[in-house]
Structure formats: C-alpha cells, structure tokens
Chains A and B, each alone.
Chain A
Amino acid sequence: MIENSNHMACAAFQAQLADLIGSGVSIAGNPHIQSCENCRALLADLETIAEAARCLFPLAEPPDALWEQIESAIEHGRTAPGRG
C-alpha cells in the first residue's frame, strides 16, 4: 500500500518533470525530490548526461575547401548547397 502510494507520487512528479525543466523553478527544492531517492537518482542521471554531452562536442573546423565552394557559389549566384 505504501509502495503504491510512493509510486503514485513518483508518477505525479515525473509527469511534471518535463515542464519543470527549464522553467526556472528549482527542482531540487521540490518536496518529492527531497524525500524520494529514486527520483533524485533520476534527476542526477539526467543532469550528468547533460553535463557530459556539453563536453562531447568541441568546436570543429570546417575544411578549407568549403570557403572555396561558398565563394564559387556566390560568384555564380547559387543559393542551394552544391558539393564539388
């Protein structure tokens, strides 16, 4: 019975989670999060994933030939991408 009630609280919290993300509201201050280890773990995982992803994509350099293609396309009045 208690377990069911916990699951319902998790369900209610997780249903709101998408809305809470980026809302500016502190999710860490949510009463359910403070009492539910499972949902805390979920949040920690989601945040860890976001942080790790940020480090995964450094700025990349386009090939030099790309400028030549752009120059050529400008010269010929092309607007659509054309490789080679």
Chain B
Amino acid sequence: MPKSTPSARFPDRPTPGKASASSERSTPVVSVTDGQADILARAQAGDHHAFAQLYSIHKRRVYSLCLRIVGNIAEAEDLTQEAFLQFHRKIETFRGESALSTWLHRLAINVVFMHLRKKGLQLTSLDEMMAPDVAQRPHSSFGAPDPILSGTIDRLELQRAIDDLPAGYRLIFVLYDIEGYEHNEIAKMLHCSIGNSKSQLHKARLKLRDALRIHSKKEARR
C-alpha cells in the first residue's frame, strides 16, 4: 500500500511531528511559530486578547480532532474546552521546539486519551476487548476471492461502522488514517508499543471491512 506524501493526503492538517526516517509520510519539522510569533508572545505574557486570537486560529482543528475521536458533540465540546484550558495553563512553557499547532494538537490528543482512559480504555488490553468476530478469525479473508467492496464505499455505512468501532480502535484509526500520525508518534503519545498501534489499526480496518461487506451483501440480497 504505497502512501502519498503528507501534504497530498492531509492538506489541511497541522504537521503532526517528526516521523521515522524510513517512513514515506515523514515530514520535516519544525518551524517554530506558524506565523503567529507575535500573538503567541503576547499570549504568553498574559494578553487575554492574544489568547482569544490563538483560540480562534486553532479551535476548528482541535474541536474536529476531538469530535473525530469521540464521535459525540457534547463530549467533543468538553474536551476542546479542557484542551484550551490546559493550553492556557501551559502556554508559558511552550519553547518552540515544535510548531505551536503540533504542540497544541498533541496536548489535545493527550486530553482525549486521558478522558478515554477514565472511561475504561486500556490500550494494552485492547486485544482482549476486541469483538470475537475479528479477534478469533484473523485469517477470515482466506479462500475464494471476495472483493465485495470493489472500490466503492457507502459513506453512511462507513460512518456507522466507524461509530461502532471500540474506542481504542477508533482512536488509532483516526490518528493514523485521518490525522496522519505515524505509528511511532502514536505509540509515544498513547504510551503503547509501535506494534500495538499497528495491530490496532489493522484490526480496526478489518472490522470496518467486515461491517461494510455485511452491509454490501445485505444490499445485494434486496
């Protein structure tokens, strides 16, 4: 599965961070300021208006990230609020080793992750949480060719299938496939192994494929 460049695949995302040298998605980081040096400096000095400007610049990305991961508007609003409150508290500690958007995005991911952990998510035991239909049959694709999806996807059904993913699968699926983070970055942010990140992503995709195939077969029978 060759991957295109980050800018082609993720034109509107902030630079996630440094990627591994071997990765095809690696992105040279890091400019310090995002062109917001002056605003940032004023916000760091306690200028509330400048902080409001930073909120205005970054609110959509942070809110969208939260919404993509939790899939619930009220929760996403709470998490966005918490992320910006933490941002406000920690803004003085930002030293510009990464782009501000990267730093803020990671802070938001940490907020979401801690929230999911409070709700019982344990990445290390995701294998146990996995639904038996996928967990018990990793080789379900063997046998006769069954290219049910054949390049077309029912968007509504895909949305439904993503909504039905266990929280941990959804988290890693969103971070890798939608936000464009590398496995090594995900592993670092979520304190899990790279292998675990890869494994959860793969299982998430298989689960989505299964759901879409079931739907496709039902549609074909109509």
Interfacial residues, chain A to chain B (CB-CB below 8 A): 7, 10-11, 14-15, 17-19, 21-24, 26-28, 37-39, 41-50, 52-63, 66-67, 69-71, 73-74, 78-83
Query: Which residue of the partner chain, among A15, A54, A78, A83, contacts B77 with CB atoms under 8 Å?
Result: A83
Chain B residues with CB under 8 Å of A62's CB are 59-60, 63, 76-77, 80
Q: Is the CB of A73 within 8 A of B81?
A: yes
Q: Is the CB of A49 within 8 A of B205?
A: yes
User: In terms of DSSP, what is the predominant structure of the interface of chain A?
Assistant: helix
Q: Is the CB of A22 within 8 A of B81?
A: no
Query: Which residue of the partner chain, among B51, B55, B144, B153, contacts A49 with CB atoms under 8 Å?
Result: B153
Check A41/B205 contact, CB under 8 A, given A46-B1, A57-B64, A57-B68. Answer: no
In whole angstroms, what is the CA distance A79 to B183 when docked? 30
How many whole Å from A43's CB to the nearest CB in chain B?
Answer: 6
Interfacial residues, chain B to chain A (CB-CB below 8 A): 1-2, 9-10, 12, 20, 22-24, 48, 51-52, 55, 59-61, 63-64, 67-68, 74, 76-82, 84-86, 88-89, 138-139, 141-149, 151-153, 155, 158-159, 162, 173-174, 176-178, 182-183, 195, 198-199, 201-203, 205-206, 208-209, 212
Closest B residue to A52 by beta carbon equals B153
Q: Is the CB of B155 within 8 A of A46?
A: no
Q: Number of A-B pairs whose CB atoms are under 8 Å?
A: 161
In whole angstroms, what is the CA distance A15 to B198 when docked? 12
In whole angstroms, what is the CA distance A46 to B141 when docked? 12
How many whole Å from A39's CB to the nearest CB in chain B?
Answer: 7
Q: Is the CB of A45 within 8 A of B64?
A: no
In whole angstroms, what is the CA distance A40 to B24 when docked? 21
Chain B residues with CB under 8 Å of A17's CB are 202
Query: Which residue of the partner chain, among B10, B138, B147, contacts A41 with CB atoms under 8 Å?
Result: B147
26 chain-A/chain-B pairs, Cβ below 8 angstroms: A18-B203, A21-B198, A21-B202, A22-B176, A23-B22, A23-B198, A24-B20, A24-B23, A38-B146, A42-B141, A45-B149, A47-B1, A52-B153, A53-B178, A55-B155, A56-B155, A56-B159, A57-B174, A58-B64, A62-B76, A66-B80, A73-B85, A74-B48, A74-B51, A81-B78, A81-B82
